[in-house]
Copies of this chain bind each other. A is one copy, B any other.
Amino acid sequence: MGVRTRPTRDGIPDATVSRLPVYLQALTGLAESGVPTVSSEELAALAGVNSAKLRKDLSHLGSYGTRGVGYDVEYLVQHISAELGLTQDWRVVIVGVGNLGRALANYGGFGSRGFSVAALVDAGADIVGTAVAGLPVLPLTELERVVRDLRVQIGVVATPADVAQEVCDRLVSAGVTGVLNFAPCVLSVPNGVMVRRVDLSTELQILAFHEQRRAASDLAEDLSSDLAGGLFDDDATIAPPVDLPKEAAG
Which of the residues B17, B153, B204, B247 comes within 8 Å of A206, measured between beta carbons?
B17
Which of the residues B194, B201, B207, B242 comes within 8 Å of A25, measured between beta carbons?
B201
B237 near A191 with CB under 8 A, answer yes
B206 near A196 with CB under 8 A, answer yes
Question: Would you call A203 an interface residue if the criterion is a C-beta within 8 Å of the partner chain's C-beta atoms?
Answer: yes
For residue A22, which residues in chain B have a CB less than 8 angstroms away from its CB? 186, 202
Question: Would you call A212 an interface residue if the criterion is a C-beta within 8 Å of the partner chain's C-beta atoms?
Answer: yes
Tell me the nearest residue of chain B to A196, going by C-beta: B203
Number of copies: 2
A24 near B205 with CB under 8 A, answer yes
The complex places the Cα of A225 from the Cα of B196 at a distance, in Å, of 29
Question: Would you call A200 an interface residue if the criterion is a C-beta within 8 Å of the partner chain's C-beta atoms?
Answer: yes
> Which of A65-73, A83-91, A119-127 is found at the contact surface with chain B?
A83-91
Which of the residues B90, B194, B205, B214 comes within 8 Å of A238, measured between beta carbons?
B194
For residue A194, which residues in chain B have a CB less than 8 angstroms away from its CB? 207, 210-211, 214, 236-238, 245-248
B46 near A237 with CB under 8 A, answer no
